[in-house]
Amino acid sequence: MLSLAVVLVAGVASGMAARRIRLPAVTGQILVGILLGPVLHVFDHETLRGLEPMTDFALGLMAVAVGSHLHLRRLHNAKTRLLLLVVLESTLTPIFVLTAVMLVPGTSWTMAVLLAALAVSTAPATILAIVKETRSKGVFVKTLIAAVALNNIAAIALFELARTVTADALDATIEHSPLVIVLHNLRTFTLSVGLGTAVGLLLIAVTRRIVRSDRLATLSIIAILLTAGVASQFDVFSTLLACMTLGVILANLTPDKEEIGHKVFENFEHAIFAVFFTLAGMELNFDYVVPGGLLAVLAFGARFAGKQLSASLAMRAAHATHGLRRYLGMALTPQAGLAVGLMLLVTENPTFAPIRDLFLAVVLTLVTLNEIVGPVLTRLALLKSGDYGKDRARLIDFLHEENITTDLEADSLEHAIEQLTDLLVRSNDLQVDRDVLLASVLESERHDSTLLGDGLAIPHGDVDEGDRIVGAMGISRPGLPFETPDGHPVHCVILLATPPGARLHHLEVLTAFARTIGADRTVQKQLFHAKSPAHAYEILHAEETAEDFNTYLDEE
């Protein structure tokens, strides 16, 4: 307990000191761990081994948090660019790192393979902290956070495969064929996903009728401990994959229930991770710092080049926006928590004793480099992308990429309204009767047509629950042949659903849409020909648009 207290104090203090000089807390924690461990030898080997359960729990908690960012409904419109990104990043980045590391004479192929698989991982905690600190919001941020979750899933899968292959190579008593290795990893993946899914569904079922926060927190702790404990007890499971699956299940099946899952640790999550990263720094062996530093520098450069190229190619192939093409790879530079966790899976396994100390030195040096340079690059990427400082309430804040379609086809306004009602209910996860909402919109349309002319229609209906407007937008580039006041085809249909307490906001929104989209030819030209929902979102939320139309509410 005394050792844990000392480690916690050192980790928290060093994290605060690092933030004062605009570095991530994890950088300071790794450095103070190095100071307490290989420099001052404050703790002996047995003491550090006694703190391993804390490390294992932190690793499981981190994996649950990563999985929770993979909210499939919100990522529907981004699936093409994210799929291309994870495929390219899982191939190009490891190839770059493997090639660079193998150029160093005397480097074993086992070391190179492990570092190549590790290179795919990105630091979710660091990136989320920077996004919050800079108050960034938009398509770039949405893609960045989802990309972090997906490439970490890919990193875990690749690393488990690399670990199996290299362990077989280092252990002379084991000899497996490539087919046996593939089947072993497929079994591990399937069983781990099954374990995380089963515990997640069980937690949801048990907490369905529970509202007391203390009981929800207790059951969440049990779920995470159970998943991590069962997975670590049997070699057929991967702790990281099982815990990440638990996070994905909770995020998608209970998106609005924040009292269960990893968020119950929100108030002392920083303390857990402070211990985790400080202990990781204590493992460093100075005998391997020089050769490890050379490999780390080469791996750092190759990893950065791989992420830049894969992100650029993926975003271009997906016809993504300019900011995503230019700056997404730069924003994915930070690498910390998951990389350290994967490293510990190797360094704590006796099979890897021949490469243990060198591998540890390389990874800790690489993580430190990425956590010094990475946050600066991520902050710069957010600034250049245009999402920096956008996390503030705006007049039409309810229209996000997932609420927009650019392929609207309909032979009548009623047909268009029906399609957008489905999109509105689905993308906003509304717990309302779809038919009742549709009837409300059609009834309102019969009394007063919302075909405004200039290519714009704004049908609207009422909802009985909630305190905010929700909406959906459909864009037709060729135009829809409806009967309009000016005879022009309709290019943009915006469906609004308004609760009783948001009537004034509803009128403001209608006025803003009619005044800007209905009258501003520049906005019309850009919006009516938007190539994708992401492009439409950026047009609506651009700074030049905000000045006259989508204003920040805190400035009014």
Tell me what pLDDT residue 195 has.
93
Distance CA(240)–CA(44), nearest Å, equals 28
Q: Which tokens sit at 178?
A: 């490539």
Please, are residues 470 and 424 in contact by the beta-carbon 8 Å criterion?
A: yes
Distance CA(379)–CA(334), nearest Å, equals 11
Tell me what pLDDT residue 535 has.
85
pLDDT tens per residue, range 466-519 = 667 888 889 998 888 888 888 888 888 888 888 877 777 677 777 777 776 766
Looking at the predicted structure, is the pLDDT value of residue 555 above 70?
no
Q: Which tokens sit at 73?
A: 């409904």
The residue type of 59 is: L
* 88-97, 132-141, 430-439, 518-527: the lowest-pLDDT one: 518-527
Q: What percent of the chain has pLDDT over 70?
A: 88
The class (CATH top level) of 401-555 is alpha beta
Tell me what pLDDT residue 142 has.
83
How crowded is residue 235: how many other Cβ atoms within 10 Å of its Cβ? 9
Looking at the predicted structure, is the pLDDT value of residue 255 above 70?
no
What's the Cα-to-Cα distance from 427 to each of 17, 36, 138, rounded to whole Å?
Answer: 42, 50, 16
pLDDT tens per residue, range 390-412 = 765 555 667 788 888 888 888 88
Looking at the predicted structure, is the pLDDT value of residue 308 above 90?
yes
The residue type of 35 is: L
Please, are residues 394 and 552 in contact by the beta-carbon 8 Å criterion?
A: yes
Looking at the predicted structure, is the pLDDT value of residue 338 above 80?
no
Rounded to an integer, the average pLDDT of 52-64 is: 78
pLDDT band at 305 (very low <50, low <70, confident <90, very high): very high
Looking at the predicted structure, is the pLDDT value of residue 177 above 80?
no
Looking at the predicted structure, is the pLDDT value of residue 83 above 80?
yes
pLDDT band at 554 (very low <50, low <70, confident <90, very high): very low
| 357 alpha-carbon distance from chain centroid | 32
Please, are residues 536 and 77 in contact by the beta-carbon 8 Å criterion?
A: no
Residue entry with tokens 């720094």:
281
Beta bridge partners of 405: 474
Rounded to an integer, the average pLDDT of 140-150 is: 86
User: Whats the size of the chain, residue-wise?
Assistant: 556
Tell me what pLDDT residue 552 has.
44
Rounded to an integer, the average pLDDT of 248-275 is: 74
- The pTM of the full predicted model, rounded to 2 decimals, is 0.71
The CATH number for 2-385, chosen from 3.40.50.150, 1.20.1530.20, 3.90.79.10, 1.10.357.10, is: 1.20.1530.20
Tell me what pLDDT residue 553 has.
43
Distance CA(284)–CA(18), nearest Å, equals 20
Q: Positive or negative, the Cα torsion across 489, 495, 500, 505? A: negative
For the chain, which residues make up each domain, given as ranges? 2-385, 401-555
Distance CA(55)–CA(340), nearest Å, equals 10
pLDDT tens per residue, range 214-249 = 788 888 889 988 998 898 888 788 887 888 889 888
Tell me what pLDDT residue 108 has.
87
Query: Any idea of the CA torsion for 229, 261, 158, 373, to the nearest 10 degrees?
Result: -120
Q: How far apart are the first and last CA of the chain?
A: 53
Looking at the predicted structure, is the pLDDT value of residue 183 above 80?
no
Distance CA(409)–CA(479), nearest Å, equals 9
Q: Which tokens sit at 250?
A: 């909770």
Tell me what pLDDT residue 556 has.
46
Q: Which tokens sit at 15?
A: 């994290």
Q: Which tokens sit at 519?
A: 């009258």
Rounded to an integer, the average pLDDT of 150-176 is: 78
Question: Taking all residues of the chain, what is their mean pLDDT, rounded to a whole number?
Answer: 81
Give the list of residues 6+ apart from residue 509 with CB closer than 8 angstroms, or none.
395, 396, 469, 496
